[in-house]
Structure 1
């Protein structure tokens, strides 16, 4: 059973997660040929935080981090900002009851993580954000759905690969419960 995460730890994780999301999203976004669509490394980090600290931490880190990214240069896009929260919520919920923090990251957990990332990206970038942009922002459907599909593909790959690597390294760095024995 996973040790409980204290409220203080959750607040610190939200702050660190939002800060990492902001720095990666603002300064390390890699442009794609589609306007206003980038390859985003921050979704790997956001997925890791959702796995390690739960969906609430992921939701708040993603929302705060994305608002900061948009507020400092891209303009406010509420459907894409809340999309980061939706992404983290889905990953966090699918990955509940994992044992990565206890040093366990077996292949079935990795597969569940990759599936969570792909489903979360599909719901977020192919449905949530584009539909919201059409309904709320009055954007042309062809434009925002094209952006959404590109975001789905690149974010799925980066979050699954980098997030999986980060979680694997993290799990290996942890001492497994019951792995220490007393020599007599």
Structure 2
């Protein structure tokens, strides 16, 4: 789902919440592939060709968040304050580096886009994607971890 924004060719996307969840669950390789394939398919579904600089950046974001998967260990069913903070830091770092550095530089190198335009898009994308990744992605992880039986939670009859 994409919500229009005041910045040209930039939307507020909930896809980064799902990417954050899956990268946190399955690690950097899965996160990178999910980011790459997912963004490419979304671009294709809009009737155009993939915007490769942003597809690569989505893969980068998935890899970075996925690098924290072992620290988060969401499969154990615990998402406490410490893990929430780690998840938030991973998301913000991934999005800021990805959208303020990687995407604009690739836009300039690949597409010869205007510098002011791509950095304006990048800053807006970093902010909006960080917010959706942390808040909605965090809520998805909380919901997921509540479905997992904790070790020692079963009683012997």
Give the alignment's TM-score, normalised by structure 2: 0.95
User: 1:173 aligns to what?
Assistant: 147
**How large is the Cα RMSD of the aligned pairs?**
1.1
The equivalent of 1:64 in structure 2 is: 37
Confirm whether residue 43 of structure 1 aligns to residue 43 of structure 2: no
The answer as to whether partners of 2:17 and 2:137 remain within 8 angstroms in 1 is yes
The corresponding residue for 1:75 is 49
**Distance in 2 between residues matched to 1:176 and 1:78, nearest whole Å:** 42
Aligned residues: 156
Describe the SS at the equivalent of 1:34: coil
2:74 to 97, 100, 104: 100
Contact 2:96 2:126 in 1 (8 A): yes
Question: Is contact 2:35–2:59 with CA below 8 Å preserved after alignment?
Answer: yes
C-alpha displacement at 1:97, in angstroms? 3.5
Structure 1 residue ranges without an equivalent (≥5): 1-27
| Larger RCO (CA within 8 A; separation ≥ 6) | 2
Q: Does 1:129 align with 2:99?
A: no
What is the DSSP-based 3-state SS (H/G/I as helix, E as strand, rest coil) of the residue aligned with 2:72? coil
Cα separation, 2, equivalents of 1:72 and 1:171:
32
Give the gaps of 5 or more residues in structure 2.
Answer: none
2:131 corresponds to = 157
